[in-house]
Amino acid sequence: MSFDLVLFGGTGDLAWRKLMPALFQAFRHGTLPAGGRIIGVGRDDLSAEQYRALIRARFDGVDLAKRPGDGEFERFAALLDFVRMDLSKPDDYAKLTAMLAQRHTDTVVMYVATAPNLFTTVCEQLAAAGLNTPTTRIVLEKPLGHDLASNRAINATVRQVFGEKQVFRIDHYLGKPAVQNLFALRFGNALFEPLWRREHIANIQITIAEDIGVEKRGAFYENTGALRDMVQNHALQLLCAIGMEPPINSHADAIRDEKLKVLRSLAPWTPETLKQDVIRGQYSAGVIGGTAVSAYRAEPGVQALSQTETFVALRTEIANWRWAGVPFYIRTGKRLAGRDARIVVNFRPTPHAIFNSNIGVANRLVINLQPKDGLELHLLAQGQDNRRNSNNLAPVQLDLDFDKRFGAERVGAYERLLLDVIDGRLNLFVRSDEQEEAWRWVEPILEHWKNDSQGPRLYAAGTWGPSASSAMIARDGFCWSEES
């Protein structure tokens, strides 16, 4: 299948850190369809050869295993081309039109890896240039807007230019192998489904923790914050995967219909729950890995008295028959004690204890997303004391490390998603009504913070966030997984 993949923002951070390495891995694995061409678009005055040299130099900064070997990049570089464009100038789109007219490909993918304020401009200009053909697909990166109104405005413009099945709203967390295995665990096995409900599950925790700060993205982060950057998209998509009902089949709309039902079932916010069940924080100076690090307000591009949150913890419930009364806890932040993304499903204790055990949580399922990728099932079993007929139980765990089990067969998130776009598979992409429902749910939090004079709670870099986060979950008689 022949294709042209046009990368708007082709010289930008996302292009060289994520997209080009992912495309190269697909090329290396032999999964990138033959007859492809990758066209970088940017404002830089570069020839095709200069662009290839730029991308080659950038590969020195990616993981060693993902760097090209001898001769590999030269073969991959044959797919690369470049066109200089100012995305606000209609005349520049004629250059792209002429380049695409050189070939009559089966598919043209427009990947808009630019600032969000350019999304509508690019879509309108593509339509004006006649580049919104039935064989065109457009990929939009997050954040898609900064609130519900702006999200609706972007979707309305996109809808005038492209059909919904041509629009691929990307959330790279949905492409992670561990998330794929979450769907397989739930809907490909009969083991857990009878237990996947309020009668057996005490609480569910979703943690997306980073030990890095905002790096060089201070100015961007000032206008975004952790709620928009991580909760509205990544964390809520994980919650949907955990909480959704089994779809009738594996088709994209069947899956997305069930995710939408979860978002519509989330308990609405009240003034009381906004005060008690939403914690925002901001990192102060601290120590990470033995190295002193500065506070968020001392980062380049950040205002001296910034009120932007770098940490969010919240409690919510899915108000339906399956999950009524089960608390879902979401936590995400920067400069935390470690890089750790996981989902923890804590099961209820046995209804009648006949063994001695001081373990707080007897059974739990841990779905590791990063840096480890796999599943852990925590159980209780008799240990050495069974020779004395002891009734004491000790914790044990079954640990499945996907990287060790599948090794080289693993496919990275962006590699999987890019191949899905080229093939036209929408299963792992977000539909517009899903996205709008997520914005509708987080918007009361944003409004509450506007009128909250307290501002974010400070927490020392290298910790697990403000103590109020632990106090919030403790009110229900539970604790975060690292505290148990």
What amino acid positions are annotated as catalytic residues?
A: 234
175 near 19, Cβ under 8 Å? no
**φ and ψ at 380, to 5 degrees?**
-115, 140
Hey, what are 393's tokens? 């139980």
The alpha carbon dihedral of 467, 470, 474, 479 has a sign of negative
Closest by alpha carbon to 473, among 310, 309, 279, 334?
Answer: 279
* Measured distance CA(326)–CA(126) in Å, rounded: 47
* Measured distance CA(342)–CA(419) in Å, rounded: 26
Q: Assign 96 to helix, strand or coil.
A: helix
Hey, what are 136's tokens? 């065109």
DSSP label of 91: T
* DSSP character string of 194-210: GGSSTTTEEEEEEEEE-
Closest by alpha carbon to 329, among 320, 316, 339, 341?
Answer: 316
**What counts of helices (H) and strands (E) characterise the chain?**
17, 17
Hey, what are 482's tokens? 């690292």
Hey, what are 298's tokens? 């001392």
* H/E segment holding residue 108: strand 107-112
Read off the amino acid at residue 289: G
* Edge-first strand listing for the sheet containing 327-333: 394-401, 374-381, 364-370, 340-347, 201-209, 327-333, 311-317, 278-284, 457-460
* Measured distance CA(27)–CA(58) in Å, rounded: 17
Read off the amino acid at residue 419: L
What is each CA distance from 133 to 3, 141, 154, in whole angstroms? 14, 21, 19
- CB within 8 A of 73, min separation 6: which ones? 24, 56, 59
Closest by alpha carbon to 87, among 115, 61, 68?
Answer: 115
Question: How many Cα atoms are found within 13 Å in the side-chain-facing hemisphere of 211?
Answer: 14
